[in-house]
Structure 1
C-alpha cells in the first residue's frame, strides 16, 4: 500500500514573553514536570521558569551538555525517582532532544518543548539525534513514535541569543526544500516510513520562500535584540515549517554529509545548521547543478552561513579527512540513499574538494 502523510506537534504557540504562560499552556498535559534545562541558561532562566511553570509543580534538572545515552539515562532515572507525569525541555537542540527521548523512555509521557534559540528544526520533530560522549560524533538517529505535545516559542528569549544561532537555523531550514525535493523525485519514504503528502512539499517550499524573503532582515532585527516582523517569520520557518517539512517531506544528502562532517573533530565547535549548509552546497555540486549552487552560495553569504570548509573549521583538507566524511555520509542505509541518483563516496569527496 502506498501511504502518504504529514506529521506535526500537537500544538505550536509563538509570541514574545510566552514563557510566563508555560504552566497555563501545559496544564492539560500533566501536573508534575521534570524540566530539563540547558546548562548554558540555568542562571538566567531558572527564576522565570519557576514562576512561569505555575500552577504545575516542577523538578529542574540542568542538562549535561550532550544528547547522549548517558544523559538520557540520567534524566530517565531522575524522572522515575520523582514520579513526574510530564517532561519539559528548555534550551537548545541537544537539551530538547534529550527531553523528547526521556519522555518516550518513561512510557510515552507528555512532552513540552521550549526552544531558546531558533538554530535548528529539532523542536517540532519526533526525531532526536544522539551523540557519543567520547568524541561528540553522531551515534544514531532516534526516531520517536510521537511529536511533542506542545512547542512553546518565546521569541523575546530567542531574540536575546546571538544572531549566529538564527543564521544556523536558516541553514538547517535551507536544506528542507532541497532534501524534500530530492525525496519527492526519488519517491523515497520520509523518516517515519510514509511518503510525503502534497502538503508536506508545500510546507517545504513555503519554508524556503520565507527564509529567502525575510532572512537578512530577520538577522538585522536579531542583532538589535528585537522580535520584529521579519524575525517572527523566520523563527516560525526555522522551527515549525522546517520541522514539519523535513519530517514529512524527507531528508537526504545535505544531512548525510552533515553526519559525515561530524566525524571530524575540526567541526565540533560549529553549529548543526552551519554544517548542513555545507551539505546543501556539496549536494548541489554532486548533482552538477552549478547555477543553483552559485545562487545558494550567494544567499548563504547574505545570511552569514559558511560556504567553504575552512568556515566550519576544516582548515587543513586531507584525503583522509574527506574520505572519513564521505564514507560516513554514504554508508549503507544512510539517508544519502534518498537522493534520486546513486551517490558514491568519491562523488562526495570531489564535491567537498570544490569547497576547500
Structure 2
C-alpha cells in the first residue's frame, strides 16, 4: 500500500499578510474573482484592492449567498466565465472557502484561500462540502488537489470572535489522536493511502502546540492582539491540523461529532466544540491512561471547550437518545471504524456517558 501526503502549494501566514496578497495571486493569474461573505470581504477589501492594484492584478468581488450549493457554484462559475477570470480567491469562513474551491475546480482554475477566522482546518483541504439551497448536507466534493495558495493574516483572525478561535482549537485537538489511531489500525487517509511519518509528526506537533500555547493565545485574542502564541495556534488550527487530518485520517472523534448532529439542541454548537467532546469520548474508548485524559480535559476547561454533554447543548440526557447517537456514530462508512479495534454501539454508548461523567468530575474538582 502506498503512503500519500497532500498539502497546499503555498502557505503564507503573518500579521499584515494581506498587504502582499497581490504578489502571491500574480503567481497564479492576473484576473481574479474574489468570492466571500459580506463581512469577510469587508474585512479584507481595502488591502486586497490596494495590493492587487500594485501588482497589476484585476480584482472583482462577488458576495457569496450563504450556502455551498450546486446552484450557487453554477452561478459563480457563470460569473467567472463572463469576467474572463483566470484565478479564484475565496475569502471568509468554511462555506465561503468551500464554494470558492468548488468554483475553481469546475472552472478549471487555480484557487487562493484567505480565511478570516481560524475556526476549522478547512482552508488547506482538498474538499468541499455541498449542501442544498436550504442548508441540508448533500455530498462531499473530493478535489484533485489542495488550494494553490492559503494566506492567513493573523491580525484579521485576532479580531474575530474568540469563540471561533477556541472552536478551531477543538477541531485541531482531535488531529493527533485520530492520526495515531489510523496509523495503528492501519486505516487509509483521505487521498486513499497510508500516512507518512511526516504527516504523523505534524499531527503530533499540532497537539503539542495547542497545549503549550493555547491558553496564552486565547488571552491575547480576547484583547484583539497578535502575539507569538497566537501565531503558533493559528498555524496549528489551520495548517498543522489540515495536513494532519487529510494525510493521516479521521477516527472516532469526528464520528462522534457526526452522531451528535442527530440531536437538534447541538446544532447551535460549532464543529470544533463538538469535536472536542468527541475527542474525550475517543480517549475513553481507547482506554487511555488517567493522566493523559485529564491533561486533555484540563486544557479544554482552560480555553473554554466542552467537556460534558451539557456543554454541547444536551441538557436532557436519556439512555435512549444517547444510544441513538451511538448507533449513528457506528453507521457503515463512519470514521469510527478507523480505530485499531472492533467498535460496537454498546462501547460507544458507554464511552459517551463515561466521558460526560469524567468531565463533570473534573469541573467539580478543579473549580472548587
- TM-score normalised to structure 1 length: 0.93
SS at match of 2:118: coil
CA contact (8 A) 1:143 1:192 kept: no
- Residues 1:60 and 2:61 aligned together: yes
Query: Counterparts of 1:341 and 1:255 in 2: how far apart (Å)?
Result: 17
| Per-residue deviation, residues 282-325 of structure 1 (Å, max 9, x unmatched) | 11122233613322111111111111122222222345543443
CA contact (8 A) 1:137 1:263 kept: no
Within-5 A mapping of 1:121-200: 121-134=121-134, 136=135, 138-200=137-199
CA gap 1:76/1:323 in 2 versus in 1, 3 angstroms: farther
CA contact (8 A) 2:4 2:191 kept: no
CA gap 1:149/1:302 in 2 versus in 1, 3 angstroms: same
CA contact (8 A) 1:120 1:169 kept: yes
Alignment-derived partner of residue 305 in structure 1: 305
Structure 1: gaps of 5 or more residues: none
CA gap 1:77/1:317 in 2 versus in 1, 3 angstroms: farther
Query: Counterparts of 1:259 and 1:74 in 2: how far apart (Å)?
Result: 30
SS at match of 1:5: coil
Which protein has the larger Cα radius of gyration, Structure 1 or Structure 2?
2
Structure 2: gaps of 5 or more residues: 358-368
Q: CA RMSD in A?
A: 1.9
Alignment-derived partner of residue 45 in structure 1: 44
- The CA deviation at 1:137 is 5.3
CA gap 1:71/1:209 in 2 versus in 1, 3 angstroms: same
Query: Counterparts of 1:78 and 1:262 in 2: how far apart (Å)?
Result: 35
- TM-score normalised to structure 2 length: 0.90
Alignment-derived partner of residue 99 in structure 1: 100
Query: Counterparts of 2:146 and 2:211 in 1: how far apart (Å)?
Result: 27
Residue correspondences, number: 353
Alignment-derived partner of residue 280 in structure 1: 279
Query: Counterparts of 1:286 and 1:130 in 2: how far apart (Å)?
Result: 31
Alignment-derived partner of residue 82 in structure 2: 81
CA contact (8 A) 1:281 1:307 kept: yes
Alignment-derived partner of residue 360 in structure 2: none
SS at match of 2:123: coil
- The CA deviation at 1:348 is 2.5
Query: Counterparts of 1:24 and 1:84 in 2: how far apart (Å)?
Result: 17
CA gap 1:138/1:315 in 2 versus in 1, 3 angstroms: farther
CA gap 1:39/1:317 in 2 versus in 1, 3 angstroms: farther
